[in-house]
Each structure stands twice: as C-alpha cells, then as structure tokens.
C-alpha cells in the first residue's frame, strides 16, 4: 500500500492540513516544521500525486538551466559540481531540473522564449553572467522568476549569489609577489563576461599596489577551456623575457597552460608558477597539483536553486543578493617557484 499524507500526519502527530501545507511549501508553516515533515515523509517513502499537485498550484515544479555555449561543457568540473548542487537542492524541494545547451545569440534567445512562454519551467537559473545581460531584461519584463550565479554589472539588484573574483585574484597576485615574481601574466577570456572583468580587475589592483606597471603584452585572451589556456601559454613562452608566473582566469585555462609549459620542457612549480580560479577537483588531481582560488561551486548551486524556488513559491526573503569571499589554496604549481629578481 502506498504511503499517504494521513500516514505521515499520524507518524508526526500533526494534522493532515499541516502536513499537506508543509509538503506544498506554504510559508504559513514554520521552516523547521516544514523541513521535518519533508524529511519524515521521504523516510516513509511518501510520493505526492504530482500531477494533481501541479494542477492545484499551477506550477510545473521544474526549473530550467540553459548553458550559454556552443560546445559540450558537461565534462567541465565546474559545471559538474554546480549541477550536483542544484540537483540535490531541487530534489530536496521536490522540483525537477531541465538542462539544455544553446550558444549565445538567436538560439539562446529562442530557448528562453520557448521555455518561458510555454511555461515549461517555473523559473531559470542563470550562469556565465554578462556585463549587460539581456536575459535579466527579458525575464524581468516577463515577470518570470530567475536567480543567477554571479551578477550583471548593469543589473546589480537582481537576485544572485556572487563570488568576489576581484579579491580572490588579488590574493593570488599577492601570493606570487611574496614568492618573488614580478613578471606575472594573466590569461583571461571575453570581457563580456562579468567574472572575467572582475578577475582582471583583481590582477590589475594587485600589481598596482605593488607598484608594478600593467603590461598589456602579458594579458592574453583564452576561452575558459584547456585548449584556450594551452594556446595562450604557447604565446607567452615566446615573450622576451617570458613571464615567471601565470594566472588562468579559471582552472581549465591554468591546466591547459601547464600542459603547454611542460611540453616546452619547463618544470611547473619550479621554473615558473601557474595558478587558476575555481577550486575544482581537476586541479586537485593535476600534476603538479594546482594552486587556485576556491569558490564553493557545489554549495552555490544549492543556494541559488533554493533562492529561485523561494521566489517561485513566493516565500518572504530579504537576502536576494549575496557575495562570497573565495579562498586561496596553495599547491605544488606555485609552491617552490622563486625567480631570481634582477633590476
């Protein structure tokens, strides 16, 4: 026999109405009670009559995530951790996650319009935020719920959880300066992305505080992939003199740079330093292990999806903007690199 709401109510010694409203996510039930009801219902194997619930609430209980890319990024550890966090939280809240890929441009716009107009999803999680992001304009005009990992500089008040990339990269620059590096390169990506501009700003600020002139020849553009980091590093090796330290805008960029350096006969962590940003497992298991700026990607996935579901369910919330300070993790890729400083 399937477990019913009455069974759950009897187990908890609560009224059927209270259990029903707790499982439906109504905000007139205390959060602690709601969480306890959900936990016990799950332990008992209670399965809601989903179709009836959706019809009553006029929701699909599905959130959408469209990756703005033309290639497969599901192998990227960053996205794997992010989706894991979203998936765990949506499952806990009895929501489904619909994931797709669309390159920026017309295909991406069509996907958002189709999903929102057809009410295929109740809201969107946005990622890879742009300085001036049309997605925020469109969804705001349509009064369609969304929350983002990162912010758009022209829509700072939109619901988001961000990471202080400027402070994180500045910490990384200071670490390299403490090791004696003065010729530090930066491999970025398109500055249309807010995260790239923030991290480049931290790079510039760190150099400026150390009274080191910004050299545009040491700033190259990648594409957030290993291949982009590899190609940029090959160019940096040819600089005269070459940099003694390289910061990748993300871990994959840094890992691509390590490969290019090693193919050139350089010992990363001794002959030069290379560091990244993300703190994914790929860097932890690289050879050498990667110095990086760690952002809690899994936890952010959980939090941003919870924020979105609260918006969908119209739960009162005063915390719609959050900025996380990332953490520097020092590993082998920079640890023993101490260049000889010459005037």
Q: Which two tokens stand for residue 324?
A: 């996380």
Specify burial of residue 193 (Cβ count, 10 A radius: 0-12, 13-18, 19+). buried
Residues 219 and 173 in one domain: yes
Q: In CATH, what number is assigned to the domain containing residue 242?
A: 3.40.50.2300
Per-residue model confidence (pLDDT) at position 343: 38
In a domain, 320, yes or no: yes
Residues 287 and 271 in one domain: yes
In a domain, 213, yes or no: yes
In a domain, 342, yes or no: no
Residues 222 and 237 in one domain: yes
Residue pair 288/268 in contact by the 8 Å Cβ criterion: yes
In a domain, 53, yes or no: no
Whole-prediction pTM: 0.81
Per-residue model confidence (pLDDT) at position 52: 47
Residues 256 and 309 in one domain: no
Please list the rounded mean pLDDT of every run of 10 residues in the chain (343 residues). 84 87 78 88 77 54 87 73 95 92 88 92 95 94 95 88 97 97 97 96 98 97 95 95 96 97 96 96 94 97 95 80 96 82 43
In a domain, 10, yes or no: yes
Residue 288 Ramachandran class (φ > 0 left, ψ -120 to 50 alpha, else beta): beta
Residues 190 and 273 in one domain: yes
Per-residue model confidence (pLDDT) at position 75: 67
Residues 173 and 254 in one domain: yes
What stretch of H or E contains 194?
helix 194-209
List CB contacts of 151: < 8 A, sequence separation 6 or more: 129, 158, 160, 162, 194, 321
How far apart are alpha carbons 194 and 158 in whole angstroms? 14
Residue pair 225/180 in contact by the 8 Å Cβ criterion: no
In a domain, 56, yes or no: no
The total domain count for the chain is: 3
Residue pair 169/330 in contact by the 8 Å Cβ criterion: no
Residues 289 and 218 in one domain: yes
Residues 29 and 120 in one domain: no
In a domain, 122, yes or no: yes
Residues 119 and 182 in one domain: no
Domain that holds residue 276: 165-295+328-335
How far apart are alpha carbons 216 and 185 in whole angstroms? 9
Residues 30 and 177 in one domain: no
Q: In CATH, what number is assigned to the domain containing residue 26?
A: 1.10.260.40
Per-residue model confidence (pLDDT) at position 55: 44
Q: What is the CB neighbour count within 10 angstroms for residue 261?
A: 23
Q: Tell me if the bond preceding 96 is cis, omega within 30° of 0.
A: no
Residues 34 and 114 in one domain: no
Per-residue model confidence (pLDDT) at position 314: 86
Residues 40 and 95 in one domain: no
Q: Which two tokens stand for residue 42?
A: 């799950």
In a domain, 13, yes or no: yes
């Amino acid at each position: 026999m399937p477990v019913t709401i009455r069974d759950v109510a009897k187990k908890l010694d609560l009224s059927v109405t209270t259990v029903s409203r707790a499982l439906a996510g109504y905000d007139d039930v205390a959060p602690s009670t709601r969480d306890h009801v959900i936990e016990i219902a799950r332990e008992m194997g209670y399965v809601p009559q989903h179709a009836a619930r959706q019809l009553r609430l006029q929701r699909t209980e599905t959130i959408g995530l469209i990756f703005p890319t033309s290639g497969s990024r599901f192998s990227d550890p960053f996205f794997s951790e992010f989706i894991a966090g979203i998936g765990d939280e949506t499952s806990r809240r009895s929501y489904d996650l619909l994931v797709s890929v669309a390159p920026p441009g017309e295909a991406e716009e069509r996907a958002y319009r189709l999903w929102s107009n057809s009410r295929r999803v109740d809201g969107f999680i946005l990622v890879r935020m742009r300085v001036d992001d049309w997605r925020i304009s469109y969804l705001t005009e349509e009064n369609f719920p969304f929350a983002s990992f990162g912010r758009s500089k022209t829509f700072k008040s939109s619901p988001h959880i961000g990471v202080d990339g400027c402070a994180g990269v500045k910490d990384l620059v200071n670490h390299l300066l403490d090791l004696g590096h003065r010729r530090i390169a930066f491999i970025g990506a398109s500055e249309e992305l807010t995260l790239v501009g923030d991290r480049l700003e931290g790079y510039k600020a760190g150099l400026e505080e150390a009274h080191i002139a910004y050299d545009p020849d040491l700033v190259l553009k990648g594409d957030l992939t290993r291949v982009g980091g590899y190609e940029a590093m090959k160019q940096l090796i040819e600089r005269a003199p070459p940099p003694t330290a390289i910061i990748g805008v993300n871990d994959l960029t840094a890992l691509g740079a390590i490969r290019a350096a090693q193919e050139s006969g350089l010992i990363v962590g001794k002959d030069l330093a290379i560091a990244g940003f993300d703190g994914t497992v790929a860097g932890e298991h690289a050879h050498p292990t990667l110095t990086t700026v760690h952002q809690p990607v899994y936890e952010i996935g959980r939090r941003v999806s919870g924020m979105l579901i609260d918006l969908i369910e119209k739960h009162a919330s005063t915390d719609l903007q959050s900025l996380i300070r990332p953490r520097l993790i020092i590993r082998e890729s920079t640890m023993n690199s101490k260049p000889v400083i010459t005037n």
